[in-house]
Structure 1
């Protein structure tokens, strides 16, 4: 092969790789459309889903971005009554990766109290994006008055962030 042709092929491959990298980075952490799927507490290794939202972080043992996302989500949960965070290691639960079509980690689901996936994010998601989804889940409930007993139940956040479900 001629050196000029070889150099052109290499340059074209590098250009394609750069474009794919930029597109992948631009799409990382954005809200994704998902087909309707329900999640049960037992799927997540929990006794019950949270009153407002259950944040589910899917990770793997060698995920480089997962610890940073976990810290950000812990910060979100700490300031949100009625919200629980749980982490599932897909290395040990590949059936969930197949069921929910998870192709990258971290992937974060915001699950409402009925078990419906309200939002899904692939890649490093921002705390602000998750807070926006939690606020949207609170919105329909704000029109209905709450009893003092139900207000007390949601007054302190429950954290399950150290739970790795195997």
Structure 2
């Protein structure tokens, strides 16, 4: 293989990697629909809110999870009928496949019936989180 071809291939791989990284970064923290998922309260081991519950999936080694925990906990304490529960996937790995959680933190906005109304992968944008709660 000629050096020019090797440099061209390496450059193309770098450009492709940058494009994928930028795309994933732009999608991180944005609101997505919950689909037809329903969360079983028995899986969360916490008290649910009368209006809505913020279910945070995290792991012990997650670097961004404490930031999300503080944000969601503060929001839950400031709004009536809203609760925040955290599910540690380190101890419950079966839930990651059941709820299709591929990264931590992942946050669900769940209504009182258990239906997932919104989903956030990564650190949720605060304004998008407030909008999702207003829709519940």
Question: 1:60 matched to which residue of 2?
Answer: 59
Offset, 1:49: 2.5
Superposed counterparts of 1:31-110, under 5 Å: 31-46=31-46, 48-110=47-109
Aligned length: 136
Q: How far does the alpha carbon of each residue in 1:97-146 deviate from its partner, in whole angstroms, 9 at most, with x for none?
A: 10111111110001101111111111110222222222221xxxxxxxxx
Question: 2:5 matched to which residue of 1?
Answer: 5
> TM-score, structure 2 length as denominator?
0.93
Larger radius of gyration: 1
Mapped partners of 2:59, 2:44: distance in 1: 15
Superposed counterparts of 1:72-151, under 5 Å: 72-137=71-136
> TM-score, structure 1 length as denominator?
0.77
Question: 1:154 matched to which residue of 2?
Answer: none
Mapped partners of 1:78, 1:16: distance in 2: 43
Q: Is the 8 A contact 1:29 1:125 kept in 2?
A: yes
Higher mean C-alpha displacement, 114-123 vs 32-41:
32-41
* Runs of 4+ deviating beyond 2 Å: none
Mapped partners of 1:31, 1:119: distance in 2: 6
Mapped partners of 2:125, 2:10: distance in 1: 36
Mapped partners of 2:33, 2:76: distance in 1: 23
Offset, 1:78: 2.1
List gaps (5 residues or longer) in structure 2: none
Q: Is the 8 A contact 1:53 1:113 kept in 2?
A: yes
Mapped partners of 2:103, 2:29: distance in 1: 11
Superposed CA RMSD: 1.3
